Chains A and B, each alone.
Chain A
Amino acid sequence: MTSKLIQKFTIIALAAALSACATGPGGGSIYVPAETDDTTAPEPPRIDPGADEPRVERKSEQPDTERRSPSYQDEGDELPAAARGLIGQAESLLAAGDAQGAVSQLERAQRIAPRSAEVYFGLAEAYVALNQLGAAEQFALKGLSLAGSDSLLQRNGWLLMADIRRARGNVAGADQAEARAGAL
């Protein structure tokens, strides 16, 4: 058991070390502006070379042999300031007992920051307040799927999960979640 855990940690550490070269710096998703901004020239001459003729692959025009690697990252994206503000508003609404209002603000935040675990944990909490525990558990799971190697987020997520499962009467599941939080 311990050896497996150690193994797991080593692997994660290894992966973390290696991932730096597999993904971009910082680990967050890379923003790519569009190639063309079409205001100045509404119908620009096409840059795309192959679209007008049938695409016959010739060896010479194939992309370079240098192989790109599929991308991945170890942590979800960082929360942009605008989304953090909305989550803050949602927290106040939740504290004031307006869970539905909190969901509205969190959904706005989710559209801005769809790959940040915090947003989904927030939604899970709001759905707990709405007593929709099934939805709450799913949002907690979604948040955990984006927490990656951030152990603080993992821990928060599993503690939240433990609460939700306990409230749903799933004692074994709650204990399991708590154990995962404790191991972090």
Chain B
Amino acid sequence: MAGRFRYNPAMKKSAPQKKSPKKRSPKGKKQPWFWRLFLRVSLIGLVLLAGWMVYLDAVVTSRFEGRRFEVPSRVYARPLELYDGASVSASALQRELELAGYRSGSAAAAGSYRRSGGQFEIHTRGFRFSDGEEPRRRLSLSVFGDRVQQFSVVDGPTSPIVRLEPAQIGGIYPAHKEDRVLVELDEVPELFRNTLMAVEDRQFYDHFGIAPMSIARAMLANIRAGGIVQGGSTLTQQLVKNFFLTRDQTLLRKGNEALMSLLLELHYEKDDILETYINEVYVGQAGTRAIHGFGLASQFYFGESIADLDSHQIAMLVGLVKGPSYYNPRRHPERARSRRNLVLGVMADSGLISEQEASRAQGQPLGVASKPSYSENRYPAYIDLVRRHLARDYRQEDLQSEGLRIFTTLNPAIQYAAEFAVTDTLKSMDGRSEGVLESAMVVTSRDSGEVLALVGGRDPQFAGFNRAVDARRPIGSLVKPFIYLTALQNPDEYTLVTPVEDKSFSLVFDDGRRWEPKNYDGEERGEVPLHLALSRSYNLPAVRVGLDVGIDAVKTTLQNFGVSDGISDYPSMLLGSVSMTPVTVAQIYQGLATSGFNTPLRTIRQVTDSDGQALSRYSLKVDQVADSASVHLVQYAMQEAMQEGTGRSVYRTVPDELTLAGKTGTTDDGRDSWFAGFSGDLLAVTWVGRDDNGPTPLTGATGALPVWARFMSRVPQHGFSPVVPDGVAYHWVNSEQAAITEQGCENARFMPFIVGSEPDIEASCGGSIQSRVRGWFEGLFE
């Protein structure tokens, strides 16, 4: 990677001139002994000093020649796309803007917005995406019925669709936790540079690293005060202090500082030193993260780029140098304000701004963004998964230092809804279980496999055990759709109305052990049509069908859908004794949700270097792993599960119009409560259970489903309505009798069949059976 902030040889001074004003003592004269001693000591001293200088020189140049700064990588949420018809609620849009550091107000300046009810005016800052620039624009739109309407570009290049700049949601920091945004000197406004010099180092362009007069002045002040109260440090000295030395103020350190400043000036141009200073200076703290450099300071305090700062903002930032914590504008606004106004006075005195401008600026409010543009580790579980994905292609040290930009698929609105659903629903379940209930949730975009939200526990802000990624738990009945899918792929043997036996039986293994599966309710129903066996999640038919098609075949289906390892060969796997993490469940359900297309889950769209050049892309991939027709049949039964089967309680929470498909999962003694399901837009998997794997009174329908339902009810989205694939036709059938029937009959269901596998008998509304005339009629033509 060619970082643009590496040392630039052009800036190095070409011929450093070392003057060696050594004095020679005149020979031949006899000197007193003390003079000889003095000379010797001085000589030894000079040699030592020279050696020390050589050492310091090496320190100075080696640090300046290499990469000067380790710049953390920035992790961004997905950019919000705004256009007519875009799906977003007004509150979600406002949160999105706040997350991206927009200020509420007039929408006059870039990075601000105005909202009145559902009416928004947004002044974007612009952003350079690797596929093109989104320039600054002023947008006007209204949100009605959770959709964007009357979208228009008021100011700036017109476009029917505009991407907001993405919100930063995290960073990958070097061990010392310094955060910075590098700027080049010519990006820094002249007023800024001049103010900095006027306040900190008036003679910067004239001195040679140290300013003896200033030092003398400072020493005088220090002697008067009886301690170090004033520094006569030049910018060069300050840079040396921050860059190479410890913070303690000893005389030795002061000496080193002076020597190194001289050396630095000897080797490097003033502009180079100033640029490094501007990027190095410490200007604040956000938790464990140290804010360095004015580039980041502008964003951190004002949410603006350094090029756009107003004079009062420049004054505040320059004023901060004297004491970032003492003058912290968020904690001590009064101190910050008087310091700022002092700096504005200096600016006016130095002729940088007019008196009128100074008094105007002094009257301005501080205008500091109420909180940092993002709080550290707001989405620990999600970032954790991002880091794991990054680790496949990037080294940790590069991520910590190269200033990469990582564009993730996180959707803040979906994440918000997911976190709310988990925390709020779990709170309401407290007291129902002996141990502490925990939970995890994964939400993906159904057709793209992008991970939109991830919740790793009931306290989503807590960066602890990430259950969504690391909790491998038996999936229970979540395995059943894959058993039936395996069966339905053979339409000669199985259709949705094929009667399957709901009767107990026992298996005796070679070693004499017996296995007697039971239904959850302990009952047996004789024969049930396959679709009811799935939508009601009966165990006995699932095991029977699974044994009939073969455990190996079911295993192959699971593998095709994305399970890489750990599937047991025992028949108990047919009841879900196979363990998976919530993320893996989301992966295998992706294929069920998309007509048999496996879509690898992604958290990252793209990684670029600090200039926005793409380094790696993680593109959408699809891979058909099952024929769409048989998946369509399974989807039918999974929709039925929501409407009248194990998932029906969902419609107490979500509106009737939102068509959904899904499956509950429960393991022995309620140790795991699962729900996996999808709408037209989203696929979500929830898990509820205990970390100690203890029993709970919950089932999939009473533990994980309420979380899932709460989530679905809070997200505007399209209902699930799959396109009928080629080779599938719908018929009115009496499913109990596995017969074609008429639409008006009481038991009639309109069900899909792979063409040719539809029943060849007919049932009247009364239930009397006859062979299908049409089937016989068709036979004539064969």
Chain B residues within an 8 Å CB radius of A147: 723
Judging by beta carbons under 8 Å apart, are A82 and B717 in contact? no
Instruction: Please pick, from B86, B447, B715, the residue contacting A115 in the complex, using a CB distance under 8 A.
Output: B447
A46 to chain B, nearest CB (A): 8
Q: Which among B81, B654, B724, B778 has the greatest number of chain A C-beta atoms within 10 A?
A: B724
Judging by beta carbons under 8 Å apart, are A30 and B749 in contact? no
| B21 touches A (CB below 8 Å) | no
User: A32-B716, A49-B652, A107-B620 in contact; A54/B640 too (CB < 8 A)?
Assistant: no
| A71 touches B (CB below 8 Å) | yes
User: A7-B778, A138-B622 in contact; A54/B702 too (CB < 8 A)?
Assistant: yes
Contacting chain B: which of A34-42, A162-170, A171-179?
A: A34-42
Judging by beta carbons under 8 Å apart, are B724 and A32 in contact? no
User: A101-B131, A105-B131, A110-B447 in contact; A34/B750 too (CB < 8 A)?
Assistant: no
Give A123 to B620 CA distance when docked, in angstroms.
10
| A103 touches B (CB below 8 Å) | yes
| A131 touches B (CB below 8 Å) | no
Q: Which among B85, B648, B654 has the greatest number of chain A C-beta atoms within 10 A?
A: B85
| B725 touches A (CB below 8 Å) | yes
Give A32 to B659 CA distance when docked, in angstroms.
9
Give A112 to B160 CA distance when docked, in angstroms.
13
Judging by beta carbons under 8 Å apart, are B623 and A111 in contact? no
Chain B residues within an 8 Å CB radius of A141: 597, 622, 624
**B contact residues, total (Cβ < 8 Å):** 87
B618 to chain A, nearest CB (A): 10
| B256 touches A (CB below 8 Å) | no
User: A70-B636, A81-B85 in contact; A8/B755 too (CB < 8 A)?
Assistant: yes
Which B residues contact A (CB, under 8 angstroms)? 81, 83-87, 89-91, 94, 130-131, 145-147, 160-161, 425, 428, 432, 445-448, 450, 595-597, 605, 617, 619-624, 628, 632, 635-636, 639-640, 643-644, 648-649, 651-659, 661, 680-681, 697, 701-702, 706, 710, 713-726, 729-730, 743, 749-750, 752, 755, 778, 781-782
Chain A residues within an 8 Å CB radius of B724: 15, 19, 72-74, 148-149
B158 to chain A, nearest CB (A): 12
Give A138 to B632 CA distance when docked, in angstroms.
18
User: A82-B86, A86-B161, A138-B623 in contact; A39/B94 too (CB < 8 A)?
Assistant: yes
Give A65 to B717 CA distance when docked, in angstroms.
26
| A152 touches B (CB below 8 Å) | no
Chain B residues within an 8 Å CB radius of A76: 723
| A33 touches B (CB below 8 Å) | yes
Give A108 to B621 CA distance when docked, in angstroms.
14
Instruction: Please pick, from B432, B448, B648, B661, the residue contacting A114 in the complex, using a CB distance under 8 A.
Output: B448
Judging by beta carbons under 8 Å apart, are A148 and B81 in contact? no
Chain A residues within an 8 Å CB radius of B596: 145
Give A144 to B715 CA distance when docked, in angstroms.
29
Chain B residues within an 8 Å CB radius of A92: none
Chain B residues within an 8 Å CB radius of A50: 649, 652-653, 706
Give A37 to B417 CA distance when docked, in angstroms.
11
Give A178 to B596 CA distance when docked, in angstroms.
23
Closest to A42 in B: B91
B297 to chain A, nearest CB (A): 31
| A135 touches B (CB below 8 Å) | yes
| A60 touches B (CB below 8 Å) | no
User: A67-B644, A114-B447 in contact; A72/B161 too (CB < 8 A)?
Assistant: no
Judging by beta carbons under 8 Å apart, are A30 and B447 in contact? no
Closest to A119 in B: B447
